[in-house]
Structure 1
Amino acid sequence: MKKRLIASLACSVALIAGSLSAQDCEESKWGAEDEIGSANLVTPERTMAALELVKQGKSVPLGIVIDSETPAFAPRSLNLQVVQPNQQGGAKLTAFGYPGNYNDDIIQTWVGIGSQIDGLGHLGEKGYYYNCNKEDISAITGLTKLGAHNIPPLVGRAVILDMASHAGKEVMDAGDNFGEAEIKAAAEAQGVSIGEGDIVLFHTGWTEGKLESDPTAWVSGEPGLNVNGARYLASLNVMAVGADTWGIEPIPPAEGDGAFYGHVVLLKENGIYLLETMNTGPILRDGVNEFMFVLGQARIRGTVQMIINPVALY
């Protein structure tokens, strides 16, 4: 009798634990084994539709130039060395069949610096990441699941929403935030819509206005998308969300929001990618609100993030 009671209690505890775990994560709509989330929205039909937005034949980089002086979320940094192997003292490489010389480079860097994509293994909650993957995917040698190398080329229609103009500012202030109402109003003012599979970028003026003139202020705070706005975009089934800021959400956070909790909503809960420090200003000044977006990131196995330079075609 006592053994049956203990077994019954153990079973009950296990069921309760399983129920609690189920509440902490939700299986992806693309299946329990899915690792690419919203990249499933890349289709030949959406790619062909995006091609129709290329009317002027222009291409603009969405990535910024970075170096060892670029501020980043601590303790991230970048160091570059250019070397001339086996060419000390002016020696030439006669093995080439001629007196050759060449440069090579060595880089020591965090890959979450400057313009970057946040993969689905970047931020989670209560020990879970996207699609109920647990913390044991985080090996020191690289993620065993959800690595950014898995992300296929992201190609589709992108829109830029000018939140700075909507706020009546050239550069929004740190802590300024926007949600569903502001996003809808800015889109209506610009005459653009947001559809399933779109890449949505926000222009706040922050990087153009602060990065060079006050790099300390640039990395110490930022305007951005609040949690209400993140949930709204997720409801539209967008592919990616980005901004001309280093972290997407406002710092200090909006009242009632946890810092960077939009990362949890978009990455963990919905498998939607984040694109940070996007170069949005030149495209807006060219009178363009929507364009074809193309990204193929470096495929280093197991990375959480990756430095990127997407291309805007219009």
Structure 2
Amino acid sequence: MNFRLSLTAALGLATAVTALPASADVNVYSYRQPELIEPLVQAFTDKTGIDVNVAFLNQGMVERLKAEGARSPADVVLTVDISRLAELVEAGVTQPVESAVLAEQIPAAFRDPGNEWFGLTSRARIVYASKERVADGEVTTYEDLTDPKWKGRICTRPGTHSYNVSLTAAVLHHHGEEGTREWLEGVKANLARKPQGNDRAQVKSIWAGECDISFGNTYYMGAMLEDEEQKQWAESVRIIYPSFENGGTHMNVSGMAMAKAAPNRDDALKFMEFLASDEAQKIYAEAVYEFPVNPDVPNSALVGSWGSFTPDDVNLMEIARLRPEALKLIQVVDFDG
């Protein structure tokens, strides 16, 4: 292998410099796990001969980049969730990238209007429904989840988690403040228990009969099917793609940005353009059970088997802008209480 993959989780500046030696052609900070990035890096290096070094971070990417400043070795950052992409831009640790390739390969809804971040794969915030206890057609919209017939039947992770904050921000975009408050209160009234755990834990609860439906990201279905213990949870549910009454299915994104200091800018741009290519989007989407952001790139067979849907077309930076107000409403109604 021509690339060096660093499993660096520490947040100190010295660790970052050690993990990303100056001899690398492109240095990457990633919130995505190393095993998910490895196929992309290998394909890029095989194609171009450009060496890529990846440092994996559990948290603190913005703080690290700010602390390193102009001396940062990072060229490209990879992360998940629109909130983290927006956080990078708002912190001033990224730079605009003008590229005809990126503009052509990545639809406008999945890139920053200022060209400071670009989506690579997307995921939908969907409903996992019991195959035994929820009939086809019982849920078609996010608004349906406030129907009293679901009282005591919904499970979810905390409302203050970033995935649910983004969903609530989408509700806010479509229905305004009062409508969002009513939606949160309606869903809360239908909860089977206090919000807790992660998305997989909700599917386990459906399997155990503790609730009938839950919120979740699509890719967890693929991850659960790959796990011997969790496979039975996944097989107890089906994916439903709800839409907004005046929109589509809520989407989130994994994406990339060029670091502000980027000491290897030219090679970094080549790497970013490769990641946006049909080849790389296919590799990445299959590895993480997500959707390529380019509609011309086909889904994997597994992801395609989950059905089709119409994505909401609101630009994700609008969702990011509404997140503080969405979080406030979640707290006002004491959704997690």
TM-score normalised according to structure 1 size: 0.23
Structure (1 or 2) with the larger CA radius of gyration:
1
TM-score normalised according to structure 2 size: 0.22
